[in-house]
A and B are shown apart, each in its own frame.
Chain A
């Protein structure tokens, strides 16, 4: 149903009893948002997250790729542990990354691979970015320490 030349794919994360979970408005599935030409992606993701689930702890874009007939911007949204408890959470499993060739795209990219990269990106921010270092709690820093840090990149 979500269409348009630019779309956002959001992975909503929360910590539950020391383990990270996917817990967004679409359950464990990515949450898709449509963007108009004049929209600021971060503002839209932050606003819709706030309206649906309460104030997010962190909103960050981690990668982009071409999929669904559009350019898809991938975001992670981190909610606090007690936030939106009505949303069902699913533990996050590790995945192999989808690696591109030097000049061509990976053949297929699964949602779990996008999320894996998103968490590695978050791990990089948790070591490099003063705002993220100050924002994420110790539970998140402990969990992200198991992810090999990796900056933003194109996944296709």
Chain B
């Protein structure tokens, strides 16, 4: 039985930074961007609240 394809999501920062991929990739990518570029600590829930299907 084949593994179901993970849903592809896209999340965009107000500065224009954008990341696409499955949940487990976009969450750490946006958290890293938020910390390095905006001095922000964002939770997984905050990232997913801004994410949309790609």
- The chain A residues found within 8 Å of chain B, CB to CB, are 1-3, 25-27, 29, 31-36, 39, 44, 48, 51-52
Contacts and interface: CB of A to CB of B under 8 A. Distances in A.
A52 B34 contact: no
Interface residues of B, number: 12
B47 to A, nearest CB: 10
Interface in B10-46: 13-16, 34, 36-40, 42
B39 A33 contact: yes
Nearest 8 pairs of A and B residues by beta carbon: A26-B15, A34-B40, A1-B14, A33-B39, A34-B39, A2-B38, A33-B38, A1-B13
Contacts of A27: 16
Contacts of A26: 15-16
B26 to A, nearest CB: 14
